[in-house]
Structure 1
Amino acid sequence: MGTGTALAVDPDVVTCTLAPRYEAVRTARDFARTTLLQWGLGDLFDDVALVASELVTNALRHAIGEPTAAELRSCTGSSRLALPAQPGPAQSLDSRLPIRISLVHRSPQLVCAVSDPSSDGPVTREADFVAESGRGLHLVDSFSRSWGWHPLAGAGKVVWALFEADEASAVDLERSTDPASPGRHRRSA
């Protein structure tokens, strides 16, 4: 899983702490894949990975801050973009708190939750299908059963998405890792 640390006290509740770098999105997807396969819920991976990617990207972008043009230029040719260790103008001192992704499986449901240091709640914008960004929460809404957010005591927030994970529709570990198994079909709305 790379830069994250997985914690497990309850086997149906797992958490990964993410480094404040943009490759944390990949770490979150890897964490989700590993966890869902262990739980026999591999068929949920596509939806959970998309939602996790959006929530972690939002946490990095809005809680930690956008990289400046100079930071982007300085890492050209490098596969790693580290966000500044010191808070910039778009950051508060709280941004040094970690970003965490948690997966909770309480049959028949699964919750994907991302906590970050910003106390500002997510804002759904009008969908602009030509813009390069701004559709993330629309995707979260489309691919999960429901979603929401809650402030954390002191500072920060958690944004969560709920998925149906009934055992009858779950693909077991063997089938989900079998390259010959048929592709997954999207559910209709």
Structure 2
Amino acid sequence: MVIAQPQSVDVSPSTKQGAAENDVVLEAGSATCLLPSTPHAVPLGRAMVRRGLTHLGAESMADDIALVATELLANALAHGVRDAASRESASDELHRRRTDGVRISLKSSGAHVVLSVTDPSPTPPVRRPRDLAAGGGRGLQLVESLSLCWGWTLLDEQDGQRQPGKSVWAMFSKVAAEKPAPQISIQGAA
């Protein structure tokens, strides 16, 4: 299920004063990290997800959420950062600072965990139609299959100025993750 919310909402995670890029900020019910706009963001994001889920007491969800984080971060880098960079003027230092990096966040509401990846482009994500012959384009289908639902929101104003960008998010059920996997017995297996 996809839930697209193009209206403007505040999705900016709280950050502590002095938190640097790659620092994971752990607070009650949340974990967040600013990542560089480089391919290194993807493994750093997966590590942040595992650390954040441990902090939130939801370690059993780590594999699925880390995989979804990989897809969302790859999309943010390939489309969001590139799109924002192509719009940017070389002389606009303030805009450049706002479009550097992507932010990954985890928030727990008790029964659910929401993963969000924020990038500097306001262009919405596009789920491609299923094409088995295509070499790529299945990332959002994977996100859809592993999460309860996913969607995107535009960033809200901050300090009286419109923030460039969007947040793409996916919601996961903690309850489903806590159920043990069914045991399968194969007769005659060596």
Using the size of structure 2 for normalisation, the TM-score is 0.70
Q: Does 1:5 align with 2:23?
A: yes
Paired position in structure 1 for 2:169:
160
- Show structure 1 runs of 5+ residues with no match: 67-85, 172-183
SS at match of 2:38: coil
Superposition RMSD on alpha carbons, in Å? 2.6
Q: Does 1:132 align with 2:162?
A: no
Paired position in structure 2 for 1:92:
88
SS at match of 1:65: helix
SS at match of 1:138: helix
8 Å CA contact retained: 2:22, 2:33? yes
8 Å CA contact retained: 1:24, 1:56? yes
Counterparts in 2 of 1:170 and 1:112: CA distance versus 1, 3 Å: farther
Residue among 105, 114, 117 paired with 2:117: 114
Q: Percent identity?
A: 36
**1:170 Cα deviation from its structure 2 partner:** 7.2
Residue among 144, 147, 150 paired with 1:144: 147
Give a deviation string over 1:78-104, Cα, whole Å, max 9, x none. xxxxxxxx94xx453556333100000
Higher strand share: 2
Q: Does 1:169 align with 2:178?
A: yes
8 Å CA contact retained: 2:80, 2:121? yes
Q: Does 1:24 align with 2:23?
A: no
Give a deviation string over 1:66-125, Cα, whole Å, max 9, x none. 9xxxxxxxxxxxxxxxxxxx94xx453556333100000111000000001000000111
Counterparts in 2 of 1:133 and 1:163: CA distance versus 1, 3 Å: same
Give a deviation string over 1:132-189, Cα, whole Å, max 9, x none. 2200100000000000001112210001100001398179xxxxxxxxxxxx67xxxx
**1:39 Cα deviation from its structure 2 partner:** 2.5
- Count matched residues: 150
Amino acid at match of 1:14: A
- Show structure 2 runs of 5+ residues with no match: 1-20, 90-94, 157-161, 183-190
Using the size of structure 1 for normalisation, the TM-score is 0.71
Distance, in Å, in 1 between the alignment partners of 2:127 and 2:103 is 22
